[in-house]
Amino acid sequence: MKRDEQTFISLYEKVYKELYRYALCIMRNPHDAEDCVSEAVLKAYEKMASLRAEEAFKSWIFTILANVCKKKLKDMSKRGEETMEGREEVGSSVNYDLPLDLQKAFMVLSNQERQIIGLSVYGGYNSTEIAAILKLNQNTVRSKRSRAYARLRLFLE
């Protein structure tokens, strides 16, 4: 597909809220989420020619975003930066457009569980697609997703 600015914009407008929600769910910090989305969009625009069909845009850009988030979290932990993982104030600066109880419940999940749930809920992906994006076995994705949902249910009861 050729790199056409108008086409990119129209495709991006359809998924930008989902991209931000996913990044926020993973990064747990609005500024980091915005940075990740911006970096992913820039990379996607630069590589637009490699996209073969418009129908694959959502999956393609979510894969880019998932990789950007994973890399940023890894870099932050290497530098010893504090991630939201270790903070006491669970959910204080995060707004997923969800009720506060659900935000707090989401914070009990590991990064990988949040990625799996985020791709499933915000991206609409099935376990096979999530496995391909995160480079995991699809059975692992299914079991981690099931355990994550169970933990969320327990927390919300």
Residue 90 within any structural domain of the chain: no
Question: Does 18 reside within a domain?
Answer: yes
Cβ neighbours around 59 below 10 Å, total: 18
53 located within any domain: yes
Unique residue bearing structure tokens 């809920």: 121
Instruction: Count structural domains, the chain.
Output: 1
Per-position pLDDT tens, the chain of length 157: 556 788 899 999 999 988 998 898 888 888 999 999 999 999 999 999 888 888 889 989 999 999 999 899 888 888 776 554 443 333 444 454 555 566 677 778 888 898 898 888 888 889 998 998 888 999 999 999 999 999 888 877 7
User: How far is Cα 125 from Cα 104, in angstroms, rounded to an integer?
Assistant: 24
Q: Which domain holds residue 12?
A: 5-84+95-156
DSSP state of 86: G
Gyration radius of the chain's alpha carbons:
16
In a domain, 152, yes or no: yes
Q: Is residue 89 part of a domain?
A: no
Q: Domain holding 58: CATH number? A: 1.20.140
